């Protein structure tokens, strides 16, 4: 019953996953204020690698100082981050898990109080107080994503995922409503996707043929159009720019929010694409082993686990032992999460998720 979930998965570039379980990139607020690796962050990630995940992905790591999106975020914008990143990559790979960094810039979602200046985005935006990047600054943004990927490679990581989802800066460029530019990075759908395409081409050119390259996209919300995103995903795959596509669906079983696209699952708009050698993964409320199998049956190549991986550092090993495995029911105590390798900052963050952590314990944490 579990054969599909435990079949190895190869990619066009980089090492294969030993199974179909990928740790989703999860905000956890555990890095030091300067973006360097903390013991809590190291423990959280290496425990998942040791727990059997075929690929262990970091949380979003920001590629520019002003791209920080939240306190305690991992940084990859300076060589000062290399020692911690190198230690992490070594430990993940020692556990026979593929090591990947997610590269990120929050754009206008960077809090001014955190970065000490007005945030930036594709266009001036009164609501967020952000300013639009100049053409030269967009070119620098592309370069800084590429330099961050090179840093990840230097640290020993097997690859990177480019964060083009959740209305962070690359996703902001994709939106016709948020991106009102008149240069080559605005206007048509092709122009709005140009910044991501340039990042992907730059990473592949400078990190080489043995480096795994993925892209995370949101298919809806965030002022995005589902058809446009599906077309963009197809274009990127047809051009062989990526090795895997990570679709953040929020709920992998749901129908599209836009009535014009309803009548079928949101996921189906991506499983029907001509993927070539590109592998497709989905994330969103995949909790039980049966859920994970259902995703593969529906056409995904792998699953990304967030909440389930928070609750069980050894989720893949649990499924290997019990094909009917279901995660512990919510809410759980802060002590339970601590035992699963979450540090105090991460436990505190999870206590803000409705119904995740029991109230009295959350207060003590």
* Per-residue pLDDT in tens (0 to 9) along the chain, 365 residues: 445 999 999 999 999 999 999 999 999 999 999 999 999 999 999 999 999 999 999 999 999 999 999 999 999 999 999 999 999 999 999 999 999 999 999 999 999 999 999 999 999 999 999 999 999 999 999 999 999 999 999 999 999 999 999 999 999 999 999 999 999 999 999 999 999 999 999 999 999 999 999 999 999 999 999 999 999 999 999 999 999 999 999 999 999 999 999 999 999 999 999 999 999 999 999 999 999 999 999 999 999 999 999 999 999 999 999 999 999 999 999 999 999 999 999 999 999 999 999 976 444 44
**Greatest alpha-carbon span in the chain:** 56
CA-wise closest residue to 235 among 164, 147, 143? 164
First-to-final CA distance of the chain: 40
**Burial (CB count <10 Å: 0-12, 13-18, 19+), residue 264:** exposed
Tokens of 4: 């599909």
Peptide bond into 331 cis (omega under 30): yes
Give SS3 for 71.
Answer: coil
Task: Tell me if 8 sits within 8 A of 46, measured CB to CB.
Answer: no
Report pLDDT for 45. Answer: 98
pTM of the shown model: 0.97
Report pLDDT for 364. Answer: 44
CA-wise closest residue to 275 among 233, 247, 246, 304? 233
Cα 257 from Cα 251, distance rounded (Å): 11
CA-wise closest residue to 70 among 80, 59, 79, 78? 59
Q: Cβ–Cβ contacts within 10 Å for residue 198, how many? A: 19
Tokens of 239: 């051009």
Task: Tell me if 83 sits within 8 A of 70, measured CB to CB.
Answer: no
**CA-to-CA separations, 334 to 101, 218, 323, 345, in angstroms, rounded:** 27, 31, 28, 11
CA-wise closest residue to 313 among 52, 58, 55, 74? 52
Cα 281 from Cα 268, distance rounded (Å): 12
Report pLDDT for 18. Answer: 98
Report pLDDT for 363. Answer: 44
Residue-by-residue DSSP string for 181-201 = --STTSSSHHHHTHHHHHHHH
Task: Tell me if 25 sits within 8 A of 244, measured CB to CB.
Answer: no
Place of tokens 């029911």: 329
303 sits in which H/E element: strand 302-305
Place of tokens 């920001």: 62
Report pLDDT for 359. Answer: 77
Residue 123 has φ and ψ, to the nearest 5°, of -145, 160
Give SS3 for 12.
Answer: coil
């Amino acid at each position: 019953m579990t054969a599909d979930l435990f079949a190895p998965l190869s990619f066009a570039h980089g090492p294969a996953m030993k199974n179909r379980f990928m740790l989703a990139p999860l905000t956890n607020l555990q890095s030091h204020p300067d973006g360097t690796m903390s013991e809590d962050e190291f423990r959280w990630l290496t425990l998942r690698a040791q727990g059997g995940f075929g690929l262990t992905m970091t949380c979003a790591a920001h590629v520019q100082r002003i791209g920080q999106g939240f306190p305690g975020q991992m940084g990859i914008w300076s060589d000062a981050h290399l020692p911690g990143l190198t230690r992490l990559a070594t430990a993940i790979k020692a556990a026979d898990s593929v090591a990947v960094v997610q590269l990120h810039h929050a754009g206008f979602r960077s809090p001014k109080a955190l970065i000490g200046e007005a945030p930036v985005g594709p266009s001036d935006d009164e609501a967020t107080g952000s300013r639009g990047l100049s053409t030269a600054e967009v070119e620098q943004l592309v370069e800084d994503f590429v330099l961050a990927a090179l840093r990840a490679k230097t640290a020993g990581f097997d690859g990177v995922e480019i964060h083009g989802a959740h209305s962070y800066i690359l996703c902001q460029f994709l939106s016709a409503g948020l991106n009102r530019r008149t240069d080559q990075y605005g206007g048509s759908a092709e122009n709005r996707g140009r910044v991501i395409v340039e990042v992907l081409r730059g990473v592949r050119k400078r990190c080489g043929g043995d480096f795994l390259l993925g892209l995370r996209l949101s298919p809806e919300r965030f002022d995005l159009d589902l058809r446009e995103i599906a077309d963009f995903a197809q274009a990127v795959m047809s051009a062989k720019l990526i090795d895997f596509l990570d679709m953040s669906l929020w709920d992998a079983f749901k129908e599209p929010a836009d009535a014009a696209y309803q009548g079928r699952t949101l996921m189906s708009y991506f499983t029907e694409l001509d993927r070539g050698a590109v592998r497709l993964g989905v994330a969103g409320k995949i909790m039980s082993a049966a859920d994970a199998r259902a995703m593969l049956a529906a056409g995904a190549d792998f699953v990304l686990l967030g909440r389930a991986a928070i609750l069980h550092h050894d989720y893949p090993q649990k499924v290997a032992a019990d094909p009917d495995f279901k995660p512990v029911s919510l809410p759980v105590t802060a002590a339970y999460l601590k035992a699963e390798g979450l540090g105090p900052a991460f436990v505190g963050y999870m206590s803000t998720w409705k119904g995740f952590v029991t109230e009295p314990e959350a207060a003590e944490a």
